[in-house]
Amino acid sequence: MQPQEKSESRVAVYYELTKPKIWYLLVFTAFGATLTASNIYGVEVSMWTWALVLSSVAAGSAAANTLTNYHDRDIDAIMERTKKRPLPSRRIYPATKARDFGLVLAGASLVLAGAISLTTTVEQGVWAAGFIAFGLFNNVLIYSYILKRNSRTNIILGGLCGGAPPMIGWVAVTMSDLWTMGLAMAGLVFIWIPMHIWALTLHFKEDYNRVDVPMLTAVQSEKTSARSIAISTVVMVLFSISPFFLIMDGTAEYMVGPVYLWTAVASGALMVGLSAWVMAKPMERASWTLFKFSSPYLAVLFIALMIDSAL
């Protein structure tokens, strides 16, 4: 007799399947981009637009996580870190239930993003839906199905999807400067992802080697892995300062001010310091500490953007 889901815990189990800790942060970046754009351009965002932005990003991110969980259920059953997830533990059975749930979420996210057209313009809704589609394609097909088990640099091209939520938040407010300030905010997430993931995989390198998944910091020596993490951290911190000063229409305009700048400098110094610790002692404790600080670091940058744009 196969294990069955307990009816009283079904909602909680499917919620766990979506990896809420991941999509919480992505929804927050969409929120930050929406509010920052609203503050900068003086555009009032309606309640319905807010609801559509946040729900579409939440559903899209949850869909991507669910579908990648479905694809990775074989290796998740072997890795110590993941073997208690809903699919390998058979709290959801058969696995096709998870696949179908992910597909429903993906469809819902596209509809919700497209519905932004009803509260803004058709162009804005089309772009929002396009960014959702790109995020799903990049995360599920490019990263999970093609790159993850075949390339040690998988998370670089596979992390492009991380920039979709800020772009959706921005485009829901305005099409102005989408490819300057909007792209800079998306870039913050994209460039943050390798450091975040590489710190995690260095900590759990034995798990990844056990299932023959060639994450960069799992297959390289600890010294080389630590160097890769440090380089990616420095690049991330340098890029984080770029939104402070953007070239707009041939003239220099301050898009954000000293609150963001000094927050980026101070928090970036902390991240560089932690990556230096990983280089000095590339051990589990150092890499785990860097990983745990990385999510609050990204959230702090977006909080600083929101505050600065309001001022």
Please tell me the predicted confidence (pLDDT) of residue 1: 41
CA distances, 75 to each of 10, 68, 70, 78, 115 (Å)? 23, 11, 10, 5, 37
DSSP string computed for 100-111: HHHHHHHHHHHH
Residue 213 structure tokens:
């998944």
Beta strands in the chain, from DSSP E residues, in sequence order: 246-248, 251-253
Q: How many angstroms separate the Cα of 76 from the Cα of each of 2, 5, 79, 279?
A: 19, 19, 5, 29
Is the dihedral angle over the CA atoms 131, 137, 142, 148 positive or is it negative?
positive
pLDDT by residue for the chain (311 residues), tens digit each? 455 445 548 999 999 999 999 999 999 999 999 999 999 999 999 999 999 999 999 999 999 999 999 999 999 999 999 999 999 999 999 999 999 999 999 999 999 999 999 999 999 999 999 999 999 999 999 999 999 999 998 999 999 999 999 999 999 999 998 998 899 999 999 999 999 999 999 989 999 999 999 999 989 988 899 999 999 999 999 999 876 655 444 434 455 678 998 999 999 999 999 999 998 886 678 899 999 999 999 999 999 999 988 98
Q: What are the angstrom distances between the C-alpha of 238 and each of 46, 75, 241?
A: 35, 36, 6
